[in-house]
Amino acid sequence: MSTREGPVALITGGAGFVGTNLAARLLSRGQRVLIFDNLSRPGTERNARWLLEHHGERAELEIADVLDCNAVQAAVRRAREVYHLAAQAAVTTSLAAPLRDFEVNARGTLNVLEAVRAQAPPPPLIYTSTNKVYGALPDVQLIRTPSRYTPEDPLLAANGIDESRPLDFHSPYGCSKGAADQYVRDYGRCFGLSTVVLRMSCIYGPHQLGNEDQGWVAHFMSEARYGRPITICGDGRQVRDVLFVDDLVAALELTMHSIHRLAGKVFNLGGGPGNTVSLIELTQLLAGELGLTTGLQHAPWRRGDQRYYVTNFSKLAAATGWSPQVRLEQGLKRLHAWLAAAGPVRELAARRAVLQ
Nearest to 243 by CA among 220, 268, 225: 268
- Torsion angle of alpha carbons 22, 23, 26, 31, nearest 10°? 160
**What is the model's pLDDT at position 2?**
47
Task: Say what the pTM is.
Answer: 0.93
pLDDT value at 291 more than 90: yes
Confidence of residue 6 (pLDDT cuts 50, 70, 90): confident
Q: How far is the C-alpha of 119 from the C-alpha of 78, rounded, in Å?
A: 10
Q: Catalytic: 187?
A: no
Which CATH number goes with the domain that contains 202?
Answer: 3.40.50.720
- Residue 12 inside a domain? The answer is yes
- Residue 3 inside a domain? The answer is no
**Cβ atoms 98, 172 nearer than 8 A:** yes
**Cβ atoms 2, 226 nearer than 8 A:** no
- Residue 1 inside a domain? The answer is no
For 248-261, what is each residue's pLDDT tens digit?
A: 999 999 999 999 99
Which amino acid belongs to residue 25?
A: R
**Cβ atoms 151, 141 nearer than 8 A:** yes
Strand intervals (E) in 206-265: 230-233, 239-244
- Residue 317 inside a domain? The answer is yes
**What is the model's pLDDT at position 354?**
32
Q: What is the DSSP string of 73-108?
A: HHHHHTEEEEEE------HHHHHH-HHHHHIIIIIH
**What is the model's pLDDT at position 213?**
63
Domains held by the chain: number: 1
- Residue 69 inside a domain? The answer is yes
- Residue 2 inside a domain? The answer is no
- Residue 170 inside a domain? The answer is yes
For 189-241, what is each residue's pLDDT tens digit?
A: 999 999 999 999 999 999 987 665 678 899 999 999 988 999 998 999 999 99
Nearest to 239 by CA among 308, 141, 154, 286: 308
Q: Which of 83, 134, 173, 183 is catalytic?
A: 173
For 292-319, what is each residue's pLDDT tens digit?
A: 988 889 899 988 889 999 999 999 999 9
DSSP SS3 for 342: helix
Q: Domain containing 94: what range? A: 8-355
Q: How far is the C-alpha of 19 from the C-alpha of 22, rounded, in Å?
A: 5
